[in-house]
Structure 1
Amino acid sequence: MRSQILRYGDVTLILDAYNANPTSMNAALKDFSTTVKGHRTVILGDMLELGEHSRREHSAVLDAVKNAGFDAVYLVGREFGAVLDGQMPAEWFGDAEALRAHLMKHKPAETTLLIKGSRGIGLEKLLAVWQM
């Protein structure tokens, strides 16, 4: 679950759901925004264990996402939900299971997805959407 590249038909997934901290999140977003061409979707899960810095760091990630010009943004977890507050177009879900259920009905196609979040968010559950 560390920077795996998986292909399912017209969808390419970059799965990095093992660990997330501000440095790795920003590096992944920068790399994704500068190297991937075509339709780009990001799915970001909370960065856990940031303590008193959590809101500030999650807000900084949203600033980076807002300026990157992604085609679709999905956010997962309480921390992103606390700072989203309409500052950018994104769909928010409380947990990975809720997003998985949504994606089963509205499966993205013809896109490259970056899936990045802390291990405790469980974003690997989203693979089931494309494995069916």
Structure 2
Amino acid sequence: MKKSLVLTAVLLASFATGAQAAGDAANGEKVFKKCAACHAVGPEAKNKVGPHLNNVVGAAIGKHAEDFKYSKALTDLGDAGKVWDEANLSAWLKNPKEFAKGNKMAFAGLKKEEEIADVIAYLGTFSKTQ
């Protein structure tokens, strides 16, 4: 009996962790309000201080918004073949200045891992690769 309770607890914990890692797009929409002063998403999204973020998930870094002038730090990453996958987006959202030294983004970053996962899930709803 004890073994089955332990197994059930382990399974539930692993499902909970997997769900959290995937992120919650609805919560990501709320968290994205911290980004909306400089970025836009959606059918009518245009570049602001930062590029629009439609189709950013899976795109080459520093390249998805063709009419935006990215920093050399970001275009160099894209030229090296780096893409905005979940790992790179997570690192960027956590600490943009550390991820790409010399980039122009002034945002200090998101500190909560669940908020980062949620924003990535939200951005995925505006990306063709998702």
Q: Is TM (by shorter chain) over 0.5?
A: no
Q: Normalization by structure 1: what TM-score?
A: 0.29
Q: Normalization by structure 2: what TM-score?
A: 0.29
Structure number having the greater strand percentage: 1
